[in-house]
């Protein structure tokens, strides 16, 4: 990440510019310029309208120059009970989280590769690390996005551009306000701090809170028969 003498990036672009986590990350990085792109944001951006992504990024770069950090923060949780029986709703979750993410990440990666520097932060989730019965539609969308982002990070090696995959657990935001609090729940500010440190250290994957790294390394290997009996 290119930073000034105080360790601050020049320009941070948040895709999903009203996301509580995305805004907290921008604040924690304290860049010279923060650009918010989303529905109803200063820069209009619809993750679902994949054919528009190239034009949005081109217009941002034409006006503001190189992008130091781009945060892929848009996402929908869906409603598992409805999504698992309504194919159009299940597809809608995939369209935003996975297809929108794949398109935006590819457009941004091409830009960062051409610049020869810059970081793409992808908001994944522990929900994608081991997909659970209770939210498998959302979890599958995040599993796909996570795998895609890891692969993209590999292709960018040596280009100067990087990908940081962020895997939060339960975060208190608009997205989760109707849900009961989960174990190890955290805040957007704490996710932002983990992200800031991850960018500064050149990490490829971070968990928020950090303890989830160890919890998930166990959970992802629990045999299916036992996993389905766990209260997760």
Measure the CA–CA gap between 123 and 119, rounded to whole angstroms. Answer: 13
Dist CA 104 CA 42 (whole Å): 18
Backbone angles phi, psi at 202, to 5 degrees: 75, 25
How many chain residues touch ligand NAP (CB under 6 A)?
A: 27
189 belongs to the binding site for ligand NAP (CB under 6 A)? no
Q: Which residues pair with 173 in a beta bridge?
A: none
**Would residue 157 be called left, alpha or beta, if left means φ above 0 and alpha means ψ between -120 and 50 degrees?**
beta
> Binding ligand NAP by CB under 6 A: which of 171, 194, 206, 212?
171
- CA 128 – CA 212 distance, rounded (Å): 13
Query: Contact with ligand NAP (CB under 6 A): which of 9, 10, 31, 75?
Result: 75
Q: Which stretch binds ligand NAP (CB under 6 A): 39-47, 154-162, 195-203, 219-227?
A: 39-47
**Does residue 47 belong to the site contacting ligand NAP (CB under 6 A)?**
yes
20 binding ligand NAP? (CB under 6 A):
yes
Quick one: 10 or 78, whose CB is closer to ligand NAP?
78
168 binds ligand NAP (CB under 6 A): yes
> Does 195 sit near ligand NAP (CB under 6 A)?
no
- Using CB under 6 A as the binding rule, whether residue 193 contacts ligand NAP is answered as no
Tell me the residue length of the chain.
Answer: 232
Catalytic residue among 138, 148, 170, 207: 138
Which listed residue (44, 176, 215, 227) binds ligand NAP by CB under 6 A? 176
Binding of residue 148 to ligand NAP (CB under 6 A):
no
Q: How far is CA 108 from CA 4, 82, 144, 152, in A?
A: 22, 33, 18, 11
- Is 96 among the residues that bind ligand NAP (CB under 6 A)? yes
Nearer to ligand NAP, 80 or 125 (CB): 125
Tell me which of 2, 99, 150, 175 binds ligand NAP, using CB under 6 A. 175
Instruction: Pick the stretch among 28-36, 46-54, 192-200, 214-222 that binds ligand NAP (CB under 6 A).
Output: 46-54
136 is catalytic: no
80 is a site residue for ligand NAP (CB under 6 A)? no
Site residues for ligand NAP per CB under 6 A: 16, 18-22, 38-40, 45-48, 73-76, 96, 123, 125, 168, 170-171, 173-176
Residues labelled as active-site residues: 138
């Amino acid at each position: 990440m290119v930073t000034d003498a105080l360790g601050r990036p020049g320009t941070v672009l948040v895709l999903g510019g009203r996301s509580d986590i995305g805004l907290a990350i921008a604040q924690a990085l304290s860049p010279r310029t923060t650009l918010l792109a989303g529905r109803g944001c200063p820069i209009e951006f619809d993750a679902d309208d994949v054919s528009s992504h190239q034009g949005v990024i081109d217009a941002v770069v034409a006006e503001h120059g190189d992008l130091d950090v781009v945060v892929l923060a848009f996402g929908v949780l869906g409603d598992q009970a409805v999504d698992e029986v309504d194919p159009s709703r299940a597809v809608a979750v995939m369209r935003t989280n996975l297809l929108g993410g794949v398109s935006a990440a590819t457009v941004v990666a091409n830009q960062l590769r051409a610049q020869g520097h810059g970081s793409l932060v992808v908001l994944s989730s522990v929900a994608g690390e081991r997909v659970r019965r209770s939210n498998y539609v959302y979890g599958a969308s995040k599993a796909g996005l996570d795998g895609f982002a890891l692969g993209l990070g590999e292709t960018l090696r040596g280009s100067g551009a990087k990908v940081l995959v962020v895997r939060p657990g339960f975060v208190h935001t608009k997205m989760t306000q109707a849900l009961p609090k989960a174990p190890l729940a955290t805040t957007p500010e704490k996710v932002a701090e983990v992200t800031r440190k991850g960018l500064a250290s050149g990490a490829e994957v971070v968990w928020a809170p950090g303890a989830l790294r160890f919890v998930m390394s166990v959970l992802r290997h629990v045999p299916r028969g036992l996993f389905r009996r766990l209260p997760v």
